[in-house]
Amino acid sequence: GENVEQHPSTLSVQEGDSAVIKCTYSDSASNYFPWYKQELGKGPQLIIDIRSNVGEKKDQRIAVTLNKTAKHFSLHITETQPEDSAVYFCAAMGTSYDKVIFGPGTSLSVIP
């Protein structure tokens, strides 16, 4: 079945540095890749997404890249701030909603 791997599981960066989280997926039919941010005690929040016909998408300090050939996609956060500290989940979506697979999450800590 579909599998989504996510690395690293934990990440600590100094405020102002960049953070990169990488995900790989196994189902070549996946064609939509959202990223979620989950703060402590809250539900996951969609922060950016990318579709299979696009290689890169940016929204202010965050960007996502997609390599369909290699079946991996990455989240890039530049100029990190303490409020970026959270757990980040990637996901891969394909042909049906019961096939949506979330990655295991990355706990990002931004050290002031």
Interacting residue ranges for another protein, rule: CB under 8 A: 31-32, 34, 36, 42-46, 49, 51, 89, 93, 97-98, 100, 102-105
The nearer residue to another protein, 3 or 18, going by C-beta atoms, is: 3
Kindly report each contact of residues 36-43 with a partner whose C-beta sits within 8 Å and lies 24 or more positions away, as own/partner.
36/88, 36/89, 36/90, 36/91, 36/102, 37/86, 37/87, 37/88, 38/86, 38/87, 38/88, 38/89, 38/105, 39/86, 40/86
CB of 32 to another protein, least distance (A): 4
The nearer residue to another protein, 27 or 49, going by C-beta atoms, is: 49
The nearer residue to another protein, 25 or 89, going by C-beta atoms, is: 89
CB of 22 to another protein, least distance (A): 16
CB of 51 to another protein, least distance (A): 7
As a whole number of Å, the CA-based R_g of the chain is 13
Phi-psi region of 68 (alpha: psi -120 to 50; beta: other; left: phi over 0): alpha
CB of 43 to another protein, least distance (A): 3
Q: Which residues are bridge partners to 92 per DSSP?
A: 101
The nearer residue to another protein, 80 or 89, going by C-beta atoms, is: 89
